[in-house]
Chain A
């Protein structure tokens, strides 16, 4: 490749930090921006710098926020007696888009995972325990993922809620809607069968 422009090589290398972008895609992106869309490239560069500089975490729920407190936590329209715990901001978005939930969130930014060095302190659980003790929350909705680590985290959260005398609930897991039993993996089916409900 053109040794005539070290900057170009650096740009291609930098673009590879994006998920799903390998050497070939990075090269296409770099050439596209330089040949056809320098204005778009300028805008992208500006927004990237702004976002990285200005987006931090909400003091109350730890999700991404430009302000000290995010719009969800600061707004008056939400039910502050419900608190939903999720692993990541993306999970929060998924719940928000799918459910019509009107309560507040707490984002762990991870899950208990000793081998990744993530313990209660890293997940902000002291802060969560403090919030539960404040007494406003009536129900803690635990929406961590149904993985081994997510379940261990859910158990830990349930213990926190119990210690603070707050009701804890766990989102259900089972056969996907429109799915067929034949193709559901054993663990999921065993779980769905075990937690069947009367109809």
Chain B
């Protein structure tokens, strides 16, 4: 049995388990995605404050590891919860689903961990749907790079510099293929859109939509061809995550 002490972590998901316990899906800095059981948190006298072990709160967790599921032994909040509201919350649910589905258990990615914390604060600070969408796209870029699936952002498959006006098809294995205009049109993205992502320069709304489609297709590929449930959660009066 292995004891892990005060490991920086974020809760991605919680679900009730047995009478008084909760199953947690947690993203940690040095152990990657981990499943933990928090025993007795839903009882009258919980061992950890119920409001502490929850998503969008930076935590330091201690647990006893044994097989698939660890046993939560201690939980301390670090600072206050990320002040997300409205569409920002829906964006955060999307990120949590993405990480829970894409990251393998016990496979640490400290850079992805750090980037997750920063994107939450970027979402909280974003003034509008465009700001949120841009924060999500940049996170997706860094997540893919962190997992070794980096997007081709400066050169095409032939080693040619990406041209802003040219159209490219993204192939998950081969990179950016310049589109000749012949045959059935695959999902295309402009060189300008890819370069905006490379330069970290917020692009125009229509370019942002292009990037979203391209990144979603790539994520779908890495998710084994399946869609995320969050992709179909579109609030009627806004469209930050789905436009």
User: A residues touching B (Cβ–Cβ < 8 Å)?
Assistant: 19-20, 112-121, 129, 147-149, 151-152, 155-156, 159-160, 162-163, 185-188, 190
Q: Given the complex, which residues of B lie within 8 Å of A112, measured CB to CB? A: 90, 93, 233
For the complex, what is the distance from the CA of A186 to the CA of B58, rounded to whole Å? Answer: 12
Q: Given the complex, which residues of A lie within 8 Å of B15, measured CB to CB? A: 116
A148-B55 in contact given A155-B86, A155-B235, A187-B80 (Cβ < 8 Å): yes
B53 to chain A, nearest CB (A): 10
| Among A19, A115, A152, contact of B89 (Cβ-Cβ < 8 Å) | A152
| Contact status A188-B19, CB under 8 Å | no
| Contact status B100-A115, CB under 8 Å | yes
A190-B89 in contact given A20-B19, A162-B237 (Cβ < 8 Å): no
**14 sampled A-B residue pairs with Cβ under 8 A:** A19-B19, A112-B233, A113-B13, A113-B93, A114-B93, A114-B229, A115-B100, A119-B233, A121-B232, A148-B56, A155-B86, A185-B50, A187-B57, A187-B80
| Among A19, A156, A163, contact of B233 (Cβ-Cβ < 8 Å) | A156
For the complex, what is the distance from the CA of A112 to the CA of B56, rounded to whole Å? Answer: 16
For the complex, what is the distance from the CA of A113 to the CA of B141, rounded to whole Å? Answer: 24
| Contact status B93-A148, CB under 8 Å | yes
For the complex, what is the distance from the CA of A187 to the CA of B234, rounded to whole Å? Answer: 27
| Contact status A187-B237, CB under 8 Å | no
Interface residues of B in 166-197 (CB under 8 A from A): none
| Contact status B229-A117, CB under 8 Å | yes
| Contact status B80-A190, CB under 8 Å | yes
| Contact status B233-A148, CB under 8 Å | no
